[in-house]
Amino acid sequence: MIYLYLSFTFLILGIVLSFNRILGYSAIILGSVFSFITGIVCRGIFTIFTIAPGVTIGFSVDKTSAMFLIIASTAWIFTALYSIDYGRLYAKSMTLWFNISVFGMFIILTAADSITFIIGWEIMTVSAYLLVLEHRDSFKEAFKFLAFGEVSVIALILGFSFSFFINNDTGFAGLNKFSPIALGLLTFGFIVKMGIVPFHTWLIDAHSKAPANASALLSAPLTVMGIYGIERVLTGNPHVEYLQWWGVAAMILGSLSAFWGALHAASSERLKTLPAYSTVENNGMILTAIGFGVIAAAEGKHILFQFAFATALVLIIAHTISKSLLFISVGHAKEALGSENINDVRGIWSSVGITPAAGILVSGLSFSAFPPFIGFVGEWMFLELIFQSFKFANTLSRLTATFAGIFSALAIGLAAFSMIKLAGYTALGFDHGKKSKKIHSVTMKITELSLLIIVIGSGIFVTFILRYFGYTNFTSGLLAVFKPMLLISGNPPFGVISPAFFMIIILVLLLFPLLVYFSRHRNTRRVNSWNGGIPLTEDEYFTSSAYSGILKIILNKFYGTKETKGREKKIVIVDKVRYFYSWLNKFVLGTGYLLSKVLMNGKVYAYVSYIIVMFVLVFLIV
């Protein structure tokens, strides 16, 4: 209990001390450390206040919230550490909004009731909006983030209100009656915050303008709050046998979102837009895994249900840690080189430094499912999960899982394509000779190095992580693989893999080529690409747009590819979902204009009629 209160104390202290960058972020780091410890050692209801019959507010930590506290706190610790030096590049107010955002998330994860949960949700949303505004010329993108955030809040208020009228209890423990309407409203609110297609445009736009630490916060722990909300509501509903419809809908939405996000990540040329679309893909796969688990529970397949939620857990860990590393490394390079285009930040390894380049490379390999990184383990488990859909008795569930598997497999391939492009051109690309700006980056490099180690280590020792969270059914041993270093995808085993053994094999296979390289590298002569004896100019190098150019042309039906006219022809792609929001914007503005012409016409009877009609409607609704 003491660790929960210590975490509260230091998180609030971080807000109070925000006038000093170092003190503010240091307090948040300490608060996040105690939050991490809270997730490990604390269980139970700590503070509950009764306001009225059935209306309570308070804080508690159970298995679900503890799991997310551990994951989110890891991101908070390192993002705050990174911000100590990164914050020098922005105004002092950034510290305040960053710290309040973290505090809001902590309230969400420790809330014992819907009222406290919504308060934390709103604190997180508004402060994150102000954090995005710290970047110059970002009002439009920040306002879009706020608009979607408030839509999410409204949906949650309606969903929890409907649940209260049925259960007469605001506590999460009181969700003991089945309510499809409440579940539908709550799910809508959560997937908006997750950035699931077609509600993902706020995520892309906010990332394009947000500072790097804000992007890391928005992409990883903030969207994870939506995942937590879904699991929070599902674990509180005992009537899971009636939720098969929810599982089918979740798998369809999740797999389409994963495919759409990966598709646009593969075509993106912006340094921060590509990882943003990758977040859409990651959250889509997580939602698909949760939906699969709900269907398995509805059919009474307990082991398959457990494996589905274990898969979602590993995907959440991989997304949170790897995406935090990717955004802070990309942000480091962006600030040092002063560019947001992938082609303009080539050669980070030599121009900016080894640490940010290694961060981009390792996180990119993790998202490309390269063994033994945590991203590889998550995607292996995901595919193993989908392969077991033949165990479903319901034909619709089997067809949905097949459909989800096809689109998710395409998403995995496209994600690898996009990450190879990002890491290949930025971290490992040919140095264009552009000088980087000197910035204070000690804590930035420490953060990048620490997260890099965690991404690798969590993949190698993922079986111990699963055992800690209670998924012991999926760890074992076999022959030379010691128990519990073997990961199995069912009981009895359906598929097996050992990330630790993979690491040993990779190290052994790399040993001989490295020995040959170091023994002969002095005789290696490096030359530039042959161009008929004429040195290559800057615009003659193979670009990232050329890398994905064929993809844009072949998949033009999905992309809506257009070629601009003029001296310099360019291939332009617009996310087709934006057409809907563009039409919606025009419709709302047009409707508002017509209503203003009718109501605000200078005639008293029109104003009086409007007031009477609105009064009657409000009276009837309330």
- The pLDDT value given to residue 113: 87
Q: What domain count does the chain have?
A: 2
Residues 6+ apart with CB under 8 A from 525: none
Residue 313 is encoded by which pair of tokens?
A: 């857990």
Statement to judge: residues 249 and 389 lie in one domain: yes
DSSP strand pairing (496-497 vs 562-563): unpaired
Nearest to 172 by CA among 320, 10, 48, 357: 48
Q: Is residue 309 part of a domain?
A: yes
Element (H, E) at 50: strand 44-52
Return the axis-axis angle of helices 93-110 and 2-16, rounded to nearest 10°: 160
Which of 520, 543, 573 terminates a domain? The answer is 520
Residue 353 half-sphere exposure toward CB, CA atoms < 13 A: 22
pLDDT confidence of residue 244: 86
Q: Per the domain annotation, does 262 fall within a domain?
A: yes
Strand, helix or coil at 179?
Answer: coil
Q: What does the DSSP 8-state code read for residue 48?
A: E
Crossing angle for the helix pair 63-86 and 302-337, to the nearest 10 degrees? 10
Contact present, 110 and 43 (Cβ < 8 Å): no
Residues 514 and 591 placed together within one structural domain of the fold: no
What is the DSSP-derived secondary structure letter of residue 434? P
Tokens 């699991």 correspond to what residue? 231
- 471, 362 Cβ separation under 8 angstroms: no
Lookup result for tokens 């990882």: 275
Are 453 and 358 contained in the same domain?
Answer: yes
Among candidate residues 520, 540, 563, the one where a domain is terminated = 520
594, 483: one domain: no
Cα 589 from Cα 396, distance rounded (Å):
41
- Closest alpha carbon to 275 in 228, 208, 209, 193: 208
Tell me which of 504, 520, 536 is where a domain ends: 520
- For residues 136 and 146, give the distance between their C-alpha atoms in angstroms, rounded to a whole number: 17
Is the domain of 483 the same as that of 605? no
CA distances from 66 to 172, 200, 407 (A): 15, 28, 32
Domain for residue 325, yes or no? yes
Cβ pair 487, 474 in contact under 8 A: yes
Residue ranges of the chain whose pLDDT lies below 50: none
Same domain, 515 and 590: no
Whether residues 506 and 410 fall in one domain: yes
Cα 532 from Cα 151, distance rounded (Å): 59
The verdict on 392 and 484 lying in the same domain is: yes
Q: Are residues 480 and 608 located together in one domain of the fold?
A: no
Distance between CA atoms of 245 and 130, rounded to whole angstroms?
Answer: 38
What's the distance, CA 582 to chain centroid? 25
Residue with tokens 């420490």: 446
Q: Could you tell me the residue range of the domain that residue 510 belongs to?
A: 239-520
CB within 8 Å of 203: residues ≥ 6 apart: 195, 218, 219, 223, 276, 279, 280
Give me the phi and psi of 278, to 5 degrees please. Answer: -65, -35
DSSP letters of 510-549?
HHHHHHHHHHHGGG----PPPSTTSPPPGGGSPPHHHHTH
Using DSSP's 3-state secondary structure scheme, residue 372 falls into coil
Residue 550 tokens read as 């064929």
Is 1 a domain residue?
no
Q: Whose structure tokens read 């972020």?
A: 25
Q: Which one-letter amino acid corresponds to residue 26?
A: S
Domain assignment present for 425: yes
How many Cβ atoms from other residues are within 10 Å of residue 208's Cβ? Answer: 17
Distance in angstroms (rounded) separating the CA atoms of residues 358 and 428: 9
Judge if 482 and 344 occupy the same domain: yes
Q: Residue 532 phi/psi, 5° resolution?
A: 65, 25
Among residues 226, 53, 78, 82, which one has the least CA distance to residue 148?
226
- Does residue 401 belong to any structural domain of this protein? yes
**602 and 464 assigned to the same domain:** no
Any domain includes 308: yes
Radius of gyration of the chain (CA): 25
* Residue 453 falls inside a structural domain: yes
